[in-house]
């Protein structure tokens, strides 16, 4: 089924608020919160969890105090300063080594070279992911533990589950990507049908927009641009649109600034639900009307052939 991913070169551009409004306009849809490092889509939809799974993000090392002889080899070899000489005694020695699970990067060097085989190197739970029901359809989302890695792997799992759910009912997938260019962004982007890049009229957004557009082009994903809060700096908005035109990046909409967006969030509603008659709600509906034709199966098929 078609998938629209909403991304941005920097955080705070309003991509989550826009995607949530799209879900309200196009319901029922399948939502995927791929911003797993800082998920917040659930705030607007109050999801009811129906399925819960453990995410194994890698392996972690732990020292078995009863086997440790305090030789110090693990501390010597650890490049991440995760080993500390403050572990419990074991009857033979008063103090053993301990590995900080947050600082441990799971490289396994300490376990490989421990002559006493006192280090256990085992799969570690990095978080959980969920399938939930919302007023706009099914939603897949996750919660990573502090300092947990492999967020790109988790995003891949979320998108796989979202495609399974969408395939059952022929629904559109709306994916909320992470800001920036890191692994979770790449995992959100690859294989998507259309990417909506959300920018704001600031210098940093202009710079980051160019980078994320080149990322979309690298992976062959059709991308379009929306400028959110465009009226805060009309001159810079025009510069962004001019730069987009030079790069042949279609501009599909402008969305005005409206302080009532915060009020909608306080009420756990999307902008178009909170005040359907507001100017910003009209802007978002116009934006969605420009996006929807790009997500039809015939349009997508023709685009892939021409690409």
Position 55 pLDDT exceeds 60: yes
Could you tell me which residue, 125 or 52, shows the higher pLDDT?
52
Encode pLDDT of 66-112 as tens digits: 999 999 999 999 999 999 999 999 988 999 999 998 899 899 999 99
pLDDT of residue 189: 92
Q: Give the three-state DSSP class for 40.
A: coil
Instruction: Report the percentage of the chain scoring pLDDT > 90.
Output: 74
Position 306 pLDDT exceeds 80: no
pLDDT of residue 180: 86
Q: pTM here?
A: 0.86
Q: Is 83 exposed, middle or buried (0-12, 13-18, 19+ CB in 10 A)?
A: buried
Tell me the CATH architecture of domain 3-56+127-306.
3-Layer(aba) Sandwich (3.40)
Position 304 pLDDT exceeds 80: no
Query: pLDDT-based confidence at 307, cuts 50/70/90?
Result: very low
List the one residue out of 3, 54, 7 whose CA is nearest residue 213: 7
Pick the CATH number of 65-117 from 3.30.2270.10, 3.40.50.720, 3.30.70.20, 3.30.70.260: 3.30.70.20
**Domain residue ranges of the chain, discontinuous segments joined by +:** 3-56+127-306, 65-117
Instruction: Give me the mean pLDDT over the 35-60 stretch.
Output: 91
Average pLDDT, the chain: 91
Q: Which residues lie below 8 Å from residue 227, measured CB to CB, with a gap of 6+?
A: 198, 199, 200, 201, 237, 240, 241, 251, 253, 254, 255
Q: Which residues lie below 8 Å from residue 105, measured CB to CB, with a gap of 6+?
A: 80, 82, 149
Position 300 pLDDT exceeds 80: no
Encode pLDDT of 186-233 as tens digits: 999 989 999 999 999 999 998 889 899 999 999 999 999 999 999 999
pLDDT of residue 299: 55
Q: Note the residue count of the chain.
A: 307
pLDDT of residue 305: 42
d(CA 75, CA 97): 8
């Amino acid at each position: 089924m078609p998938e629209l991913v909403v991304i941005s070169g920097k955080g705070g551009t309003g991509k989550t608020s826009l995607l949530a409004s799209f879900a309200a306009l196009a319901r029922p849809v399948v939502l995927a919160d791929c911003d797993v490092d800082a998920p917040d889509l659930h705030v607007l939809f109050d999801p009811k969890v129906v399925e819960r799974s453990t995410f194994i993000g890698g392996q972690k090392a732990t020292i078995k105090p009863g086997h440790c002889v305090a030789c110090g080899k693990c501390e010597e070899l650890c490049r991440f300063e995760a080993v500390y000489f403050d572990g419990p005694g074991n009857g033979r020695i008063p103090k053993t080594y301990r590995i900080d699970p947050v600082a441990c990067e799971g490289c396994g060097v300490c376990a490989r070279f421990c002559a006493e085989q006192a280090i256990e190197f085992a799969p570690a739970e990095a978080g959980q992911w969920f399938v939930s029901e919302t007023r706009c359809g099914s939603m897949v989302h996750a919660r990573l533990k502090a300092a947990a890695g492999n967020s790109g792997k988790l995003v891949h799992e979320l998108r796989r589950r979202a495609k399974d759910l969408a395939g059952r009912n022929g629904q559109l997938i709306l994916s909320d990507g992470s800001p920036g260019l890191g692994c979770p962004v790449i995992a959100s982007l690859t294989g998507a049908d259309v990417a909506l890049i959300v920018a704001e009229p600031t210098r940093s957004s202009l710079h980051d927009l160019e980078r994320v557009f080149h990322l979309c082009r690298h992976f062959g994903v059709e991308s379009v641009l929306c400028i959110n809060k465009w009226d805060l700096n009309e001159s810079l908005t025009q510069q962004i649109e001019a730069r987009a035109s030079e790069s042949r990046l279609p501009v599909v909409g402008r969305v005005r600034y409206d302080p009532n967006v915060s009020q909608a969030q306080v009420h756990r509603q999307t902008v178009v639900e909170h005040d359907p008659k507001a100017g910003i709600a009209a802007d978002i509906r116009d934006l969605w009307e420009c996006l929807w034709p790009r997500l039809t199966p015939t349009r997508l098929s023709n685009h892939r052939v021409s690409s």
